[in-house]
């Protein structure tokens, strides 16, 4: 993929997946605005990109509010003359079960993930429409947002909302030739290293330098952060011009298209449904095959 001439903003790009996205976009030829709340981490990414012949600048700030979002767009335009790609990766965790989650825990996660995605995408969309040459919004979601996950009320809600926004914005920005897609990544990060079933395997691979086992890369779709970056580059490229409104999963050796919510089973009753009628028919009718929920336990554990 050749992204020469394109300019990208990547939020939360100081480490982990965000760093992999920024470096992959730069390696493909894009100029990159590296955003992170950690100034040192952002500067290190810029230094690496420049040392390898790429173009990048740092833009420090916590996403959420409109001011930081606009500053990221303005930085791209000031430094590189335009904006073509936005990757909304920034995020934090405040995991607690429902009855122990505080208002502050909930609000902090929603502020960065959901509101940060909204404000950054809004600022980018305004600029892309002004340019009149299309663009790419790549919104980072999570399996937790697709299926739910224990202890992650705030995170799962925000990540589900991000996919809903992607579908909505794909409709709204179609005439401007701006595609909008959600990416559902799975990779070995500091977060996944805390999962008991994965931790020993990831630690051994890190210590020995050996590849991750096949069951992890294929069955769980869990690999390195670099395994995810190829999808970001593809969605940023001209080759993905016809792809929009989708939720695409990637990790390890797996690439997947997530389905959109749809009615699975339908039944009709003349005059409508009473509570008693629903109770009498539920288990043999629309509720005969209930949906699963929650991220499945690892198969190789």
Give pLDDT tens digits for 105-136: 999 999 999 999 999 999 999 999 999 999 99
Known catalytic membership, residue 155: yes
Structure tokens at 254: 């797996």
Residue range 247-253: mean pLDDT, rounded: 96
Beta-carbon count within 10 A of 111 CB: 18
Candidate from 142-151, 185-194, 205-214, 280-289 with smallest mean pLDDT: 185-194
How high is the pLDDT of residue 300? 55
Structure tokens at 91: 């995020």
Residues 6+ apart with CB under 8 A from 288: 265
Burial of 205 (0-12, 13-18, 19+ CB in 10 A): middle
Burial of 132 (0-12, 13-18, 19+ CB in 10 A): exposed
Candidate from 89-93, 97-101, 203-207 with smallest mean pLDDT: 203-207
Q: Which residues of 155-172 are buried (b: 16+ CB within 10 A; e: fewer)?
A: bbbbbbbbbbbbbebbee
Beta strands at 254-257 and 247-251: parallel, antiparallel or unpaired = antiparallel
Q: CA-CA distance, 161 to 169, in Å (whole number)?
A: 12
Q: CA-CA distance, 29 to 190, in Å (whole number)?
A: 28
How high is the pLDDT of residue 128? 98
Q: Could you read off the pLDDT of 27-78 as tens digits, one per residue?
A: 999 999 999 999 999 999 999 999 999 999 999 999 999 999 999 999 999 9
Structure tokens at 108: 């902090």
Tell me yes or no: is domain 7-187+224-257 CATH 3.40.50.720. Answer: yes
Beta strands at 247-251 and 178-185: parallel, antiparallel or unpaired = parallel
- Catalytic residue (choose from 21, 155, 268, 293): 155
Q: How many residues does the chain have?
A: 301
pTM as predicted: 0.94
């Amino acid at each position: 993929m050749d992204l020469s001439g394109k300019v990208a903003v990547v939020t939360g790009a100081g480490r982990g997946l965000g760093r992999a996205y920024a470096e992959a976009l730069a390696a493909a030829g894009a100029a990159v605005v590296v955003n992170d709340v950690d100034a040192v981490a952002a500067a290190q990414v810029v230094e690496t990109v420049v040392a390898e012949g790429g173009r990048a600048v740092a833009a420090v700030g916590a996403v959420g509010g409109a001011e930081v979002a606009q500053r990221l767009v303005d930085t791209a335009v000031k430094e590189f003359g335009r904006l073509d790609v936005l990757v909304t990766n920034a995020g934090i965790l405040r995991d607690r079960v429902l009855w122990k989650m505080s208002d502050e825990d909930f609000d902090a996660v929603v502020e960065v993930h959901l509101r940060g995605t909204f404000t950054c995408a809004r600022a980018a969309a305004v600029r892309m429409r002004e340019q009149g040459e299309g663009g790419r919004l790549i919104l980072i979601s999570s399996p937790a947002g697709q299926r739910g996950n224990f202890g992650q009320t705030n995170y799962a809600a925000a990540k589900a909302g991000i996919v809903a926004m992607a579908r909505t914005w794909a409709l709204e920005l179609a005439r401007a030739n701006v595609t909008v897609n959600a990416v559902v990544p799975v990779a070995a990060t500091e977060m996944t290293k805390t999962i008991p079933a994965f931790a020993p395997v990831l630690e051994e691979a890190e210590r020995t330098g050996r590849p991750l086992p096949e069951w992890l890369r294929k069955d769980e779709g869990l690999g390195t952060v670099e395994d995810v970056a190829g999808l970001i580059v593809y969605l940023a490229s001209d080759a993905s011009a016809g792809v929009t409104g989708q939720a695409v999963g990637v990790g390890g050796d797996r690439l997947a298209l997530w389905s959109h919510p749809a009615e699975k089973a339908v039944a009709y009753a003349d005059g409508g449904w009473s509570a008693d009628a629903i109770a009498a028919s539920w288990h043999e009718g629309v509720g005969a095959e209930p949906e699963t929920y929650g991220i499945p336990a690892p198969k190789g554990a």
